[in-house]
Amino acid sequence: MAMELKATKNFTVRFNETDSMGIVWHGSYVTYFEDAREAFGMKYGFDYLTIVNQGFYVPIVDMHIEYKSMMRYGDEGRIVITFKNCDSAKIIYEYEIFNRKTGKLVAKGSTLQVFVDMNYELVISSPDFFIDWKIKNGIKNQ
Amino acid sequence: MAMELKATKNFTVRFNETDSMGIVWHGSYVTYFEDAREAFGMKYGFDYLTIVNQGFYVPIVDMHIEYKSMMRYGDEGRIVITFKNCDSAKIIYEYEIFNRKTGKLVAKGSTLQVFVDMNYELVISSPDFFIDWKIKNGIKNQ
Amino acid sequence: MAMELKATKNFTVRFNETDSMGIVWHGSYVTYFEDAREAFGMKYGFDYLTIVNQGFYVPIVDMHIEYKSMMRYGDEGRIVITFKNCDSAKIIYEYEIFNRKTGKLVAKGSTLQVFVDMNYELVISSPDFFIDWKIKNGIKNQ
Amino acid sequence: MAMELKATKNFTVRFNETDSMGIVWHGSYVTYFEDAREAFGMKYGFDYLTIVNQGFYVPIVDMHIEYKSMMRYGDEGRIVITFKNCDSAKIIYEYEIFNRKTGKLVAKGSTLQVFVDMNYELVISSPDFFIDWKIKNGIKNQ
């Protein structure tokens, strides 16, 4: 059975993340997702700088966000990020954001990242360090 | 035959829209989409303030973005927004962003908005002003 | 001797806070300052929502930032915020941001806020709750 | 008599530039200033990329903003940027933002930039290209 790698990150809604409607601006969730990826990377040794030091950027090529309920300034959220394994040279994360006080689902979504080299050329095969990282963390390709 | 309502908006990549990779940060496209909705609203009398004055907010409940090529600081883009009609009380837009110089597709995506009243309660049926707006603009429900 | 109220807030530079130069975009410090005000408010019962519940907004009318050294993605900072008392109906904070690893001063600055009522009309005299808050926290007007 | 170089840039307040107070977030003015510098640079051949191509970054080391009146979503502003000459290796701009409809002053401020090389080392003397640019534009050091 495949193990799923997860990380969680708590946050409090910042004033500048809200908009004239008085709720969190939908674009702010992109930052919440980014914070979650960072928390995940820190936990599992797969953060942005580690990847760059291996000679790769990992730009996002697909992002999907569903908004389920609203958050306001000062609300406290928890974001859960899950690494979804796939055989190709892709990094897929799924995200769920909850209101910490009510437990309510606030938003969910996913991102897809690819590997490019320092000249921004697409890397077709999984880099060795990525395969090694998967093995080390008990993620097996089928 | 159904007419499709479209608007276009030109933009130049701002310095603060880029990131450490030297390319436009993926979250900046949320703002480009928002600018496109605004351009559309201004062209067709369907802008945010007009909607608020009718007693509704139209929060985004779903957003999807696909990134096809990169933009850098100073690059010139064109965003094309298309209103996709549907029978229910929803506002669906599709977006395409092109590099104005190369003509290359940079990104595409979609957003889905619903109507809520000033207490943020979901409005199930299309508001009258929305139906009127559709008729006035030659959009027919099937 | 007047006591000085201070709060500190640690942070890690987010990816989207950097720019094409590879350093933290100067505008990101506005958010760091805001986070510091929030940390201060939470510590001393003087946060934004508490103030709003008293019937006031406290817009910033003056902001000054000096940039002393650069921060990059992943750098760890500490921001120290100090409440500077003055007799009039103003809220003055001073800020210092340090690199947590090197101890180096990264930036310093100040903000000045005034009180406006819910119609955005300027409030000339210190609101009672503000005077009470000062007394409770050992801050004496001269 | 010294000529003053000026540029102007019109803008419309974006939805995501506002906050829960319903007015433009004070940090958004940093972006307005940046847009103004860009407009200035484009007008006078002194834009960011031109400077980078000469081998320099010009980080902001001091920024001051005074907020005089509020702007809301959809308001139309005009920003006037003025180059303030000084003998040393510094770039100083002053900014004034007006509400285009009312003519009212919305904000004013200034920024100070220095020259650093591509290793972020401070450049003490004015780079040749900067002196040439000044001469070409009729700006004389005293």
**pLDDT by residue for chain B (142 residues), tens digit each?**
457 899 999 999 988 888 878 899 999 999 999 999 999 999 999 998 899 999 999 999 999 999 999 999 889 999 999 999 998 999 999 999 999 999 999 999 999 999 999 999 999 999 999 999 999 999 876 5
The pLDDT score that the predictor gives to residue B141 is 65
pLDDT tens digits along C69-113: 999 988 999 999 999 999 899 999 999 999 999 999 999 999 999
Sequence-distant (≥ 6) Cβ neighbours of residue C49 within 8 angstroms? A73, A74
pLDDT for residue D75: 94
CB D10 within 8 A of CB D99: no
Please, which pLDDT band fits residue C21 given cuts at 50, 70 and 90? confident
Candidate from D64, D65, D67 with C-beta closest to C59: D67
Q: What is the pLDDT of residue A44?
A: 97
Predicted local distance difference test score (pLDDT) of residue B16: 84
What was the pLDDT predicted at D25? 93
Give me the mean pLDDT over the A58-62 stretch. Answer: 97
In chain A, residues with a C-beta closer than 8 Å to the C-beta of B70 are 59, 120
For residue D141, the model assigns a pLDDT of 65
| Residue (of C117, C115, B81, B48) closest to A25 by Cα position | B48
Q: How far is D5 from chain A (nearest CA, A)?
A: 34
Q: Nearest-CA distance from B39 to chain D in Å?
A: 11
Percentage of the residues of chain A whose pLDDT score is greater than 70: 97
Sheet holding A5-12, edge to edge: A5-12, A76-84, A90-99, A105-114, A60-67, B60-67, B105-114, B90-99, B76-84, B6-12
Residues of chain D with pLDDT under 70: 1-2, 141-142
The pLDDT of residue A128 is: 96
Mean pLDDT confidence for A62-91: 96
pLDDT at A75: 94
pLDDT one-digit tens code per residue, A93-115? 999 999 999 999 999 999 999 99
The pLDDT value given to residue B1: 47
**A142: pLDDT strictly greater than 70:** no
Identify residue D140 by its one-letter amino acid code. K
Q: How far is CA C23 from CA A34, B14, C106, C120, in A?
A: 18, 16, 12, 37
Confidence of residue C2 (pLDDT cuts 50, 70, 90): low
By CB neighbour count within 10 A (0-12 exposed, 13-18 middle, 19+ buried), where does A121 fall? Answer: exposed
Per-residue pLDDT tens over the stretch A10-20: 999 988 898 87
pLDDT of residue A49: 87
Query: pLDDT tens-digit profile of D82-99?
Result: 999 998 999 999 999 999
Does residue B70 belong to the interface with chain C, where contact is any CB pair within 8 Å?
Answer: no
Per the CB < 8 Å rule, is B16 touching C18?
A: no
Task: Enter the DSSP assignment of A126.
Answer: P
Q: Is A16 on the interface with D (CB under 8 A)?
A: yes
Query: Residue C36: phi, psi to the nearest 5?
Result: -65, -40
Chain B contact for C19 (CB, 8 A cutoff): yes
pLDDT of residue C141: 66
**What was the ipTM of the complex prediction?**
0.94
C19 and D CB contact within 8 Å: no
Inspect the interface and report whether the beta carbons of B21 and A61 lie closer than 8 Å: no
With an 8 Å Cβ cutoff, are A23 and B120 in contact? yes
Mean pLDDT score across all residues of chain C? 93
